[in-house]
Copies of this chain bind each other. A is one copy, B any other.
Amino acid sequence: MDNFFKFEQIYKSKKSGARVGKIHTPHGTIDTPNFVGVGTNATLKALDSHTADSIDLQLMFCNTYHLILQPGSKTIAAAGGLHKFLNRNKPIITDSGGFQVFSLAYGSVKDELKSKGKKKLDGTVLKINEEGVTFRSYIDGTKILLTAESSVQAQKDLGADIIIPLDELPPYHIGQEALIESLHRTHRWEERSLNEHLKNRKNQAMYSVVHGGIDKQLRKQSCEFLSKLDFDGFAIGGSLGKTHDQMFDMLEFATPLIPEDKPIHLLGIGDLHSLENCIKYGIDTFDSSHPTKCARHGLIFTKNGNLKITRNSNREIFEPIDRTCPCITCQKFTIGYLHHLFKAKEPVAHTLATIHNVQFMVDLMADYRNKILNNEL
């Protein structure tokens, strides 16, 4: 592996599979385990990148699907890449675009689970074949073919520190045969993506995406297949079941099948209950829009659980959310003021709540790292 990307395992807990590490990238280091903020459109929602920097959010996840539609990967290339475009000097990861093509077509993972298999592709995905996936832009309806190669080329334009190969997101409700067919096609897409990437690394690392749905044997096949290829890390994707316990069970099974010297990213999971458990299986990074989405809905994270800020009982609490929290929101403003801003539907309410929830995640992960170092997790 070239020295522009390096995963360093610093300590492994004596109590679980949890580990503390460092991922070194051309734009700085990510202490692991860590939370990855979701900045779909090259910004976190309601939080400019200048403020995100002040919170020390070490890794940001941008979505290739959205960025190729608006403003277009060539425009971002013209800006000098994503880092320059949004003025971020810390690491960025982008996905392939495949996840959004499929998830926007199926609806959210939750909706698909609830549908008991009745929810089919909604027509925005026009064709899936060996070449790739053809879909309609949600912006203007134009037909777009996303292939392994075109996704990687777009991600070369974006220039994130970590990129992801094209994969298919089969729904939870899928027949066994279709799941196997999808897995093998995804593997072929990932290998093609890797080959395209290796033609011109441009100091980017590429993580593979482990698939296989809720079938352990397929997950094993996927880990084995992908481990043989020259990926820099592993992301875990696809359906991990209906419940937290199913997910934990699958991670307990699958993570030992991944080479220990490679970082593991869990795609799209970041609720507080999942985090602590998934860390125990050696997951290093987690991206999730959960903390920022909660913030915009007035759910404020605290060490004593979520604070529903619009509750009337908060109206005259003129104390910060958490005196010990270093974020601007806690340093400058009170619960009562935030309550008022939410009630008055002021847009700054979202910004101030987002600042706090992201800071909470950053600090929570630092706490986890300390606990691992002390064998408390």
**Nearest-CB residue, chain B, relative to A84:** B318
Interface contact A344-B79, CB-CB below 8 Å: no
What number of copies of this chain does the assembly contain?
2
Interface contact B86-A344, CB-CB below 8 Å: no
Interface contact A318-B71, CB-CB below 8 Å: no
Interface contact A46-B344, CB-CB below 8 Å: no
- Per-residue 0/1 for A344-377: is the Cβ within 8 Å of any B Cβ (1 yes, 0 no)? 1011101110000000000000000000000000
Please name all residues of chain B whose beta carbon is closer than 8 Å to the beta carbon of A75 when the two chains form the complex. Answer: 315-316, 336, 340
Residue pairs across A and B with Cβ atoms less than 8 A apart, 30 shown, are A41-B340, A42-B344, A43-B341, A43-B348, A44-B348, A45-B346, A46-B347, A46-B348, A46-B351, A48-B328, A48-B351, A49-B332, A50-B328, A50-B332, A70-B343, A70-B344, A71-B315, A71-B339, A71-B343, A75-B340, A78-B316, A78-B318, A79-B316, A79-B336, A85-B318, A86-B333, A87-B332, A87-B337, A347-B350, A351-B351
**Nearest-CB residue, chain B, relative to A352:** B48
Q: Is A66 an interface residue, CB under 8 A from the partner? A: yes
Q: Is A325 an interface residue, CB under 8 A from the partner? A: no
Interface contact B341-A41, CB-CB below 8 Å: yes
Given contacts A44-B348, A48-B333, A71-B339, 10 further A-B contacts (CB under 8 A): A41-B340, A46-B348, A46-B351, A48-B352, A50-B328, A71-B315, A79-B336, A80-B318, A87-B332, A351-B351
**Nearest-CB residue, chain B, relative to A318:** B79
Q: Is A258 an interface residue, CB under 8 A from the partner? A: no
Question: Least Cβ distance of A351 to chain B in Å?
Answer: 6
Question: Least Cβ distance of A92 to chain B in Å?
Answer: 14
CA distance A80 to B319 in the complex (A): 12
Q: Is A47 an interface residue, CB under 8 A from the partner? A: yes
> Lowest 9 CB-CB distances: which A-B pairs, in order?
A41-B344, A71-B340, A46-B347, A48-B348, A79-B318, A50-B332, A87-B332, A78-B316, A43-B348
Of listed A48, A79, A334, A336, residue having the most chain B CB within 10 A: A48
Please name all residues of chain B whose beta carbon is closer than 8 Å to the beta carbon of A43 when the two chains form the complex. Answer: 341, 346, 348
Please name all residues of chain B whose beta carbon is closer than 8 Å to the beta carbon of A336 when the two chains form the complex. Answer: 71, 75, 79, 85
CA distance A352 to B341 in the complex (A): 19
CA distance A352 to B50 in the complex (A): 11
**Nearest-CB residue, chain B, relative to A48:** B348
Question: Least Cβ distance of A146 to chain B in Å?
Answer: 19
Question: Least Cβ distance of A44 to chain B in Å?
Answer: 8
Interfacial residues of chain A within 66-91, with CB under 8 A of chain B in the complex: 66, 70-71, 75, 78-80, 84-87
CA distance A350 to B46 in the complex (A): 9
**Nearest-CB residue, chain B, relative to A86:** B337
CA distance A50 to B327 in the complex (A): 12
CA distance A63 to B49 in the complex (A): 32
**Nearest-CB residue, chain B, relative to A71:** B340
Please name all residues of chain B whose beta carbon is closer than 8 Å to the beta carbon of A343 when the two chains form the complex. Answer: 70-71
CA distance A341 to B85 in the complex (A): 11
**Nearest-CB residue, chain B, relative to A345:** B41
Please name all residues of chain B whose beta carbon is closer than 8 Å to the beta carbon of A80 when the two chains form the complex. Answer: 318
Please name all residues of chain B whose beta carbon is closer than 8 Å to the beta carbon of A334 when the two chains form the complex. Answer: 79, 85
